[in-house]
Structure formats: C-alpha cells, structure tokens
C-alpha cells in the first residue's frame, strides 16, 4: 500500500521589481546619450548654416544638412532602443507591483493607465496637427498659407507637448514613490516639473524663430532665409532633458540598490501549500501467518 501524500510549500518566485528597475535605468542612460547626440547635431547644424553665404544653392544646403540627417537617424535608432528597454522594464514592474505593499501596487497600476494615456495623447496630437495643417492649406501647392497657420500649428504642437510631458513625468515618478531613497524624493518632483515645462520653453524659442523660418517654408527654391539659430530650441530641449533624465537615472539606480541589497523588504504573502509530495514507496503489508492447529498441519 502507499501512504497518504503530504503537502510541501511552493518556493516563492523571484522578484520582478529589481529586473524592472534595471531595465528602466538602462533605458534612461541610453536616452541621455541620445539627447546629448541631438544637442551635438544641433550645434553642428548651427555652425554649418552660419558658414552658408546668403542665397546659397540647393547643393550647398544639402551638404550642410546631410551630417545632421545622418545623426538624426542614429538618434532615432537610440530612441527606439530606449522605448523597447523601458517597456520591458515597465512590464516587470507591473508584474511585480504587489511585491512592496498595497501603496506601491496602486502607484504602478496607476502608472499603467498613464502609459495608455500617453499613447492616446501622442496619437491625438498627430491627428490634430495633421487636421490643422490640412485646414490651413499647408499641403496645397501654389497657394502659400497665411502666417497665422504656422503660428496655430506651432501652438497646437506645444500644447500637446506639455500635456504629454506632464503625463510621462507622472508615469516615471509614481513607481518610485515607495522605492526611492528619501533623499531623492524632492529631486524627482523637480525633474517632473522641469520635464513638464521643457516643451513650453523649447516651443517659445521656436515661436521666436518662426518669423525668420516662414519664408523658407513658403519658398521651396530659395534658402536665403536660413538662420544659423535654427538649432537653439533643440539644444535647450536636449540640455533640459539630460538634466531631467540624469535625476531619473540616479533615483532608479538608488531604488534598485535598495531592493537588491535587502534594505527594502518585500511584503509577499506567505507561501501556500500548493503542491503535494508523494510519500515513500513501501511494499504492501503481508497477511499474518496463522499458526497450525494443535496436533495437525496447517492447510
């Protein structure tokens, strides 16, 4: 016969939060590199356009813009890597949202909805900008649109940029409210505020440049209106972005070290007896041997 099996506790699964934090801070590091490269490209563009003579031809302008275009392609590849790294990290953070208490779980769950909101705002901004551009006649050949159309398009883009930056700032700060070092908390809010304001600052600089750039948009054959200050909004935006994501990088790495070193203890539920261990195999019991009757033989 076989004895009754007995339960044994299932070993706890490895924590997902440290993996998520690691993917996220690596994404921020790569993004800082991409922002630095964007600033360098803008400065090179500034220098190249400053060397152009008034009324430069198409070939001269093309040779000046080609290095910037190649650098822009490299920045696009880096940003794609950043998006992949961050989404992998956020997936791990979301799967491990219950590892450090109900407040952390609530914050990460709210971050998930903010991520969806950021995607919706991005798509909506593209659609609205396209509608404004079509309504303003920006794509109609032979009839240059009014100056108000360019200003309207820029202001709409700035507005959507500020809203999206605010959502992303909240998305990045919320998962750290429980995990971050106490000394990093105030800097996280500073980073969120600067990140929200960055599209407005860069957009204001773009609006100041717009009167000198509109003639270029309206004249596809002349480049006399090219201004060497065209890269200033990109330089300012990249510098502010590097400052913001340097804070996020330090804060996420600090949270990662707190979790991996054991400074923060996970609040996991007790292990449940979810599996059954079979008992040891023993041979079946033999029936007892009956003694022979007195004066006779056993049958």
Residue 170 counted as domain residue: yes
Indicate the number of domains in the chain.
1
pLDDT at position 219: 55
- Residue 69's alpha-carbon distances to 62, 92, 206, in angstroms, are 10, 35, 20
Residue 42 counted as domain residue: yes
Residue 290 counted as domain residue: no
Residue 273 counted as domain residue: no
Residue 272 counted as domain residue: no
Res 220 pLDDT > 50: no
Residues 6 or more apart whose Cβ sits within 8 Å of residue 252: 21, 24, 25, 28, 176
What the block records as the tokens of 158 is: 């700035």
Please give the Cα distance from 201 to 238 (Å, whole number): 11
Residue 285 counted as domain residue: no
Question: Could you say which DSSP state residue 179 is in?
Answer: T
pLDDT at position 222: 46
What the block records as the tokens of 171 is: 């998305």
Q: What is the mean pLDDT of residues 265-279?
A: 59
Residue 68 counted as domain residue: yes
pLDDT in tens, 48-57: 766 666 666 6
Expressed as residue numbers, the domain containing 110 is: 14-264
Res 129 pLDDT > 90: no
The three state secondary structure string of 232-272 is HHHHHHHHHHHHHHHHHHHHHHHHHHHHHCCCCCCCCCCCC
Say which residue, 39 or 211, is predicted with more confidence.
39
Q: What is the mean pLDDT of residues 121-136?
A: 85
Residue 57 counted as domain residue: yes
Please give the Cα distance from 178 to 100 (Å, whole number): 8
């Amino acid at each position: 016969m076989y004895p009754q099996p007995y339960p044994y506790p299932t070993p706890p699964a490895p924590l997902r939060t440290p993996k998520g934090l690691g993917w996220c801070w690596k994404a921020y590091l790569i993004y800082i590199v991409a922002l630095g490269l964007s600033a360098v490209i803008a400065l090179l563009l500034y220098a190249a356009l400053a060397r152009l003579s008034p009324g430069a031809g198409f070939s001269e302008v093309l040779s000046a813009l080609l290095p910037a275009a190649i650098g822009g392609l490299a920045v696009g590849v880096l940003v794609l890597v950043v998006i992949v790294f961050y989404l992998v990290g956020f997936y791990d953070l979301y799967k491990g949202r219950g590892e450090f208490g109900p407040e952390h779980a609530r914050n990460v769950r709210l971050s998930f909805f903010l991520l969806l909101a950021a995607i919706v705002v991005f798509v909506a901004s593209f659609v609205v900008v396209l509608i404004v551009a079509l309504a303003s006649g920006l794509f109609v050949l032979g009839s240059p649109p009014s100056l108000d159309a360019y200003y309207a398009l820029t202001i709409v883009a700035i507005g959507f940029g500020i809203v999206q930056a605010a959502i992303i700032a909240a998305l990045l700060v919320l998962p750290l409210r429980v995990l971050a070092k106490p000394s990093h908390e105030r800097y996280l809010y500073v980073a969120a505020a600067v990140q929200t304001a960055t599209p407005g600052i860069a957009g204001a600089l773009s609006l100041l440049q717009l009167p000198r750039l509109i003639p270029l948009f309206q004249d596809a054959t002349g480049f006399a209106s090219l201004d060497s200050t065209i890269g200033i909004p990109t330089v300012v935006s990249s510098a502010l972005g590097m400052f913001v994501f340097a804070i996020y990088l330090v804060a996420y790495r600090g949270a990662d070290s707190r979790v991996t070193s054991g400074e923060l203890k996970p609040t996991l539920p007790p292990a449940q007896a979810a599996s059954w261990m079979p008992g040891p195999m023993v041979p079946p019991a033999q029936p007892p041997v009956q003694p022979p009757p007195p004066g006779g033989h056993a049958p």
